[in-house]
Amino acid sequence: DQQVKQNSPSLSVQEGRISILNCDYTNSMFDYFLWYKKYPAEGPTFLISISSIKDKNEDGRFTVFLNKSAKHLSLHIVPSQPGDSAVYFCAALRGDAGKSTFGDGTTLTVKP
Amino acid sequence: NAGVTQTPKFRILKIGQSMTLQCTQDMNHNYMYWYRQDPGMGLKLIYYSVGAGITDKGEVPNGYNVSRSTTEDFPLRLELAAPSQTSVYFCASSYPASGTNYGYTFGSGTRLTVV
């Protein structure tokens, strides 16, 4: 049973437009959600997080939205840039447990 | 500041061989993790540790062992390698609370092929 799902394996957008990456989870015990970005041949790097007491968190061009009732979160990138082309992983964890559960990732391609 | 260092970067093993993947962090993080990533898939937790002398199984621990004798080091041991262990292995670390707000710091990975 996959507890964190990213249903879109890939997404292609034009430079300057908005990228929206989606993530669904099933475990209602998760109380923190994070997004990581991964370039080929590198480890994932932390991008942005949100706790379950919030519904939105912004950091520059990146905004994460959380809909607890739907068990859904999304990452918005505005405006998208070619350097944003990477694999994006959604992760969820219980704050007291420390270990994260990851989705399968979405490959974002931003075309110039 | 090196962060999380993994060695080797690449390795080819024959079926039945054993090896140790090394992981060292210099950030004084208490928590350390081992994940594997199969092609087209997400990261699956193998083992994790919340401090020196303490380890626990993750989602896919079979065929692996770990030890945590120091805060800095968290080696992953593969005994009797099998083709199903062909994967990219990532080590990560975090402070106890920072994993929620600042995420993990990952190493660059070890690409292992078992033939």
pLDDT digits (tens, 9 = 90+) for B76-114: 999 999 999 999 999 999 987 655 677 899 999 999 999
More confident residue, B2 or A103: A103
Contact A98 B4 (CB under 8 A): no
> Which residues in chain A have Cβ-Cβ distances shorter than 8 Å to B4?
43
Contact A101 B35 (CB under 8 A): no
Q: Is B81 exposed, middle or buried (0-12, 13-18, 19+ CB in 10 A)?
A: buried
In the numeric block, which tokens belong to residue A62?
């990146």
DSSP string of chain A?
Answer: --SEE---SEEEEETTS-EEEEEEE--TT--EEEEEEE-TTS--EEEEEEETT-SEEEETTEEEEEETTTTEEEEEESS--GGG-EEEEEEEE-TTT--EEE---EEEEEE-
pLDDT digits (tens, 9 = 90+) for A67-107: 999 999 999 999 999 999 999 999 999 877 778 999 999 99
Q: Check whether B70 has a pLDDT greater than 80.
A: yes
Residues 56-85 of A with CB under 8 A from B: none
pLDDT digits (tens, 9 = 90+) for B10-68: 999 999 999 999 999 999 999 999 999 998 889 999 999 999 999 999 999 999 999 99
In the numeric block, which tokens belong to residue A86?
């990477």
Sign of the CA dihedral running B51, B56, B59, B64: positive
In the numeric block, which tokens belong to residue B114?
């078992």
At CB < 8 Å, which residues of chain B contact A? Answer: 4, 31, 33, 35, 40-45, 48, 50, 58-59, 90, 92, 94, 96-97, 99-109
Average pLDDT, chain A: 95
Contact A99 B101 (CB under 8 A): no
Tell me which chain B residue has its CA closest to the CA of residue A35. Answer: B103
Percent of chain A with pLDDT over 90: 91
**Helix-then-strand count for chain B, H and E:** 1, 11
| Residue B46, helix vs strand vs coil | strand
Distance in Å, alpha carbon of B61 to nearest chain A alpha carbon: 14
Q: Is A70 exposed, middle or buried (0-12, 13-18, 19+ CB in 10 A)?
A: exposed
Distance in Å, alpha carbon of A72 to nearest chain B alpha carbon: 18
Q: Which among B8, B53, B47, B1 is positioned nearest to B28, based on CA atoms?
A: B1
Residue type, B43: L
What pLDDT does B91 receive? Answer: 98
> Which residues in chain A have Cβ-Cβ distances shorter than 8 Å to B44?
102
> Which residues in chain B have Cβ-Cβ distances shorter than 8 Å to A51?
100-101
What pLDDT does B99 receive? Answer: 59
Looking up tokens 């989602």, which residue turns up? B59
Instruction: Report in angstroms the alpha-carbon separations of B43 from A16, A77, A92, A105, B89.
Output: 30, 23, 12, 9, 9
Chains A–B, number of C-beta pairs less than 8 Å apart: 68
Percent of chain A with pLDDT over 70: 100
Contact B108 A104 (CB under 8 A): no
